[in-house]
Structure 1
Amino acid sequence: MMIHTILDTDLYKFTTSYAYIKLFPNAMGTFSFKDRDETAYTDKFLKSLREVVVSLAQVALTTEELEYMASHCRFLPRVYWEWLSSFRFQPDKVKIYLDEDCHLNIEVTDYLYKATLYEVPLLAIVSEIKNQTLGNIADMDDIICKLSEKVTLSNEHQLSFSEFGTRRRFSFDVQDKVIGYLKQTSQYCTGTSNCHFAMKYGMKPMGTHPHEWFMFHGAQFGYKHANYMALENWVNVYDGDLGIALSDTYTSKVFLNNLSRKQAKLFDGVRCDSGNEFEFADQLVARYRELGIDSTTKIIVFSNALDFGKALDIQEYCRGRIRCAFGIGTNLTNDTGYKPSNIVMKLTQCKMNINQVWRECVKLSDDEGKHIGSEAEVQACLYDLKIAIND
């Protein structure tokens, strides 16, 4: 099995799942897979993927895991972990096929508090099976050698980072060895987004909320109100905990224009997951200044396809103006000499209850070519937010 435990996923899948349970328990959604490289997959790959997905039905939260998560995540009530111990993945909810161009299609539809839990495990499985079917073999000596250089740079420059690499890892074993090495050698690795490895290595589980939370609010309440309502509802659930706000679901410019003084003061900082990091730092510092907030008390978490060299440049740029930290994923868990998969699963449709009509979900990235949604709905969103097509 490539997913050894239900905790072999990102923390924010659980925090988002609980938020749906608390505020939108009847909401339903569909998560859809996208390979941005438009890879042609094989029947052999498809067969292996289906077999592993069937095996997910055996994955369950253990008593030991329940006790660990209940004691280490004070922001999630014990009742959530007790519910999770009864949760089982349902392989029949996962539709998998290759289209006529051999592009991989995966869809999961369920109540959102359950559907959200499929995303990260499925992406990790796809990445690992792809490497297996291509005959790619990880050279651990080479991986650790490169990792050693990254850790040395981090230690020398006091560069704080978290490991965010589950969804596009080379394999479970590679991620395991990478995190084990970080635990032994890194002075400034603040934790990992993977709850299983956080438990195994005694590290802090890291994460807050994903794009889907904002996409759901945009589809249900309108794009103009999505950022504000998504943050307000997050506060309604977590009361100030998990205070890093994601900025780029409908472009960072729209987010910053809508950011209220209350939210800017209440949230510890903002995560930058697309676009130009240096420009975003300037814009966020300026927005805090407009709102009368000392930006040096706030933090930006950068997480967009980073390596350690770029992270160091960003840290130097932010020095003295705003604190910064880094979520580094693929560069840690899939720096193997092979091209990593560029894959995502995003919320593509949702409805507030079983009787409502489906509403399409949209994401407008700060990176060109990464908008998610049908062309018609993306255009409607751009129009609604008064964003020029080439902005």
Structure 2
Amino acid sequence: MSKIINPRREFLKKASAASVALTFSRPSFTKPLDTKKNKLPQWRGFNLLDFFNPVPEKGRKTKTAYYQYMADWGFDFARIPISYPSYLSFDRSKPIRPDEVLQFNSKILDEVDEIVHNCHQQGLHVSLNLHRAPGFCINAGFEEPYNLWEDEEALEAFCAHWEMWAKRYQNISSKKLSFDLVNEPYKRLNTNDQHSPGGPVPVNEYRKVAEAALKTIKGINKNRLVIADGNGGGGMAIPEFADLDLNQSCRGYFPMHISHHKAPWVFKDPESLSEPNWPGTHNERYYSKSDLEKHYEPWVALLKQGVGVHCGELGCYNKTPHKVFLSWFEDILDILDDNGIGFGLWEFSGSFGLLNSGRTDIEYVDWYGEKLDKELLKLLMKYA
């Protein structure tokens, strides 16, 4: 029988052996008296990118041991952002057609089931998200056959996908599974250009989509927890949705000159950017924790209205200096925690991740062949 490892104990052992002074117990402190109770649990964990790519074989597969690491390090949440073509059968050498968007591939769906099962085996709540939905994806460059925000045919397909997922998981408790409708609603002037300017989806258009999907899901399981991502790419709270049976998901990417420093899908000339600082000045504006507090004020206002709030994505690309990242990130985590808002780091393993981030300015701990960012783990465990 293979020996079962305890990641928390093993990490402490390895850290001690390396003479690294780390304390993982969370410090006690008094929360502000005006903290509002969050309708959602304060889930904390990671995004898992197995089906983030529209080609299923190109997803970043979650190793079986990762689920155990997450749970034993004190985390209880996994968001699964899915590109809908990844679980369809069609000719991938051509843009997807409207008559192909409901050709579900049972083999791939079974693989998603396995991820959900593995998460539940370790006590992780699963948030299933359509990162690319019929007619929309925040990542430009995909050729969709229609527009989710404007075309009725796209909305019908969107609801059909959520009907499929709702029926597939209708007997799983909402304590274990929630649905995150569509990732980071946004409208670009040119949907095929990732650098094309854009902005929030008109609220009436987003509401029509959200209400239709919500009705579909609740018609199958009235108790299912459903989440709507913030508008304008996830960062804008939507008080106009407060009357709906919807929770909302914010982001931890503000300001983006910190979170996405030199990210080529964000900046046209990433190598020309100057090194960021936190707190510090960028483009003649000084940024500090007070700016973060102002950024999250609309989300705190939602809590006061009785809307559940969770931060579905947050983190930092590996080109931001590590010390700057951790200083900024701790401020965000403090603000979220003070308001009872949980989080999902983008990602567990990869350029934003806890493992194998590819950073060149840190000393990794070898973790069973993986490269572990011990300082990031220490910070995250402070809030787990």
For normalisation by structure 2, the TM-score amounts to: 0.32
Q: Which is bigger in relative contact order (C-alpha 8 A, separation at least 6)?
A: 1
For normalisation by structure 1, the TM-score amounts to: 0.32
Give the structure with the higher percent helix.
1
